[in-house]
Amino acid sequence: MPNVLSNLENKVLTITINRPDKLNALNQATLHELSTIIDQAKNDQDTAAIIITGSGEKAFVAGADISELATTDVMTGMKFSSYGQSVFNHIENCGKPVIAAVNGFALGGGCELAMACHLRIASENAQFGQPEIKLGVIPGFGGTQRLTRLVGKGKSMEMNLLGDMVPAEKAEQIGLVNSVVPQDQLLATVNKIAQKLANSAPIALSMTIDAINKGLECSLPDALDYEVKAFGICCASDDKNEGTSAFLEKRKAVFKGK
């Protein structure tokens, strides 16, 4: 049985971390399978939006596999951290919108995986946290950086230094998740959002994600200049012509990603 399952339907690819007996904890093999699927989806014209979730109702991803972490030293630890970061960077910059459907525990690597996604929808029973401090380490898959960018320095310090779990409602209040829904409505809600994204203009979606991600890495003037260039690229697309024509003709636009 693979550690990661995938299913494509109506241009929406659903990726499920499938280690329920380990609360979907991430090990090297799982990260590799996830990376391979994301790489394939990035280049698949039939995939317009991506959902990432966890198997079962208890956990999205409850962290890294502690049995692997326990055997690391300086070099193997750095290698594991670097690989995990590269996989999550790949998700964040794959050019297609990725939604985390957080069902249950999103701890350590699970919280970091959710933060690498572009949108996060949580069930009411979800719990978030970076508890690595309790194991004598720090987050290694981007937790000290993405969390700070999402919730600010103060809350990031609190979550990373104390390692306590944050319930879904509070996670929404601090900006860690976009919305919270009843557990039995999670996948239906996320699929509805994903389908809306799948019907949007692919080039504009990709340019929006790229502009936001790149803008966080540079000064405001450079970020605004990048936005100008991205806007120009969109203006040269068939999708822009279709979108503006559809608006003026009072009909629904049909985008083709050209």
Dihedral sign from CA coordinates of 210, 214, 220, 226? negative
Closest CA to 14 of 49, 62, 59: 49
169 is catalytic: no
92 is catalytic: no
Q: Which listed residue (9, 33, 92, 132) is catalytic?
A: 132
List CB contacts of 252: < 8 A, sequence separation 6 or more. 246
Closest CA to 100 of 59, 65, 64, 138: 59
Give the distance from CA 134 to its chain's centroid.
25
Q: Which listed residue (57, 112, 217, 249) is catalytic?
A: 112
- The strand order across the sheet containing 49-54 reads 4-9, 12-17, 49-54, 98-102, 119-123, 179-181
User: Rounded distance, CA 107 to CA 67, Å?
Assistant: 16
Closest CA to 37 of 1, 79, 7, 65: 7
Tell me which residues are annotated as active site: 112, 132
